[in-house]
Structure 1
Amino acid sequence: MTAKRLLILAHAPSPNTERLREAVLAGAREIVGVEIVMRAPLEATPADALAADALILGTTENLGYMSGALKDFFDRSYYPCLERMQGRPYALYIRAGNDGAGARRSVETVVTGLRWRAVQEPLIFRGPWREEFVEACRELGMAMAAGLEAGVF
């Protein structure tokens, strides 16, 4: 039996967002038996998404929208993935300087079209930086990998 694959697809343009992405990765790596793949959205391909059994999406809030990098990934991957990834589990985290609602809505619009399945409410890290954002991302990575490993999704 081959290991399940978790794709972490996260835009990290700053040291703090890089810390969030690295925390997701560290948490996911705590679970043995799951292959973890991390890609920046501008480097990721439709094949990366198609090979994943679950995804964690990370984005910044940019002018009330998802990051341009994540949008670019969706633009390049939407049709290659459309009919082949229905029901795929995903989770989302957003680093939002404001409320994150527009970024959440923009991602959820795309994943609804793809018919992916959210496995938890998005994590939205609002306002000034707080260290507890890092721990929440570590827990997210661990929970997604554990869910895959246990066959929950």
Structure 2
Amino acid sequence: MTKSLLIVAHAPSENTRALLEAVRHGAVEASGGEIAVTGLSPFDAGPEEVMSCDAILLGTTENLGYMSGALKDFFDRIYYPCLEETQGLPYALFVRAGHDGTGTCRAVDSITTGLRWRAVQEPLVCRGPFDPGFVAQCRELGAGMAAGLEAGIF
């Protein structure tokens, strides 16, 4: 049975789309086709997609010290349907932060703690002015998630 990695990321700009694509490409390349990788906008992902994945990678911009409204909307729609069904779901987070990303990470942690999801690594926070190095970091994040899932580490 093929395992699946769901990527739910809000990518409203060219730079954030580059980060999303890097995460996706890293996951696809690392899995060698052994993991089904699906990338969706928070507006297009719902409880069904979350309940059918084996791990989830979340991405958001930092908006006024919080997650994007799009990711918050995603959590609002999936929270109760997924509450009892997805406990222990492995997840990771990447944040494109103009400032420090602390509030964004705290907000996502609060919701994922309520869902009883399991963070499999520290959040990747791409801070400050856009740096092309962020793309490589996101590619590594995607690759690590896919490799961990494929190896059965989580």
- TM-score normalised over the length of structure 1: 0.98
Determine the structure 2 residue equivalent to 1:40: 41
The secondary structure found in structure 2 opposite 1:52 is coil
How big is the shift at 1:74? Answer: 0.3
* Structure 2 portions without partners, runs of 5+: none
Determine the structure 2 residue equivalent to 1:113: 114
The secondary structure found in structure 2 opposite 1:16 is helix
Q: Which runs of 4+ in 1 moved over 2 A?
A: none
Provide Cα deviations, 1:125-152, integer angstroms capped at 9, x if missing partner: 1100101100000011011001111111
Aligned amino acid, residue 98 of structure 1:
H
Aligned amino acid, residue 28 of structure 1:
A
Q: State the alpha-carbon separation in 2 of the partners of residues 90 and 72 from structure 1.
A: 18
Determine the structure 1 residue equivalent to 2:105: 104
How big is the shift at 1:21? Answer: 0.1
Aligned amino acid, residue 45 of structure 1:
G
Question: Percent of aligned pairs with the same residue?
Answer: 62
Q: How does 1:45-124 map to 2 (within 5 A)?
A: 45-124=46-125
Provide Cα deviations, 1:58-99, integer angstroms capped at 9, x if missing partner: 000000100000000000000000001111100000000011
Aligned amino acid, residue 24 of structure 1:
V
Q: State the alpha-carbon separation in 1 of the partners of residues 45 and 120 from structure 2.
A: 22
Q: State the alpha-carbon separation in 2 of the partners of residues 48 and 21 from structure 1.
A: 18
Q: How large is the RMSD of aligned CA atoms in angstroms?
A: 0.5
The secondary structure found in structure 2 opposite 1:7 is strand
Q: How many residues align?
A: 152
* Structure 1 portions without partners, runs of 5+: none
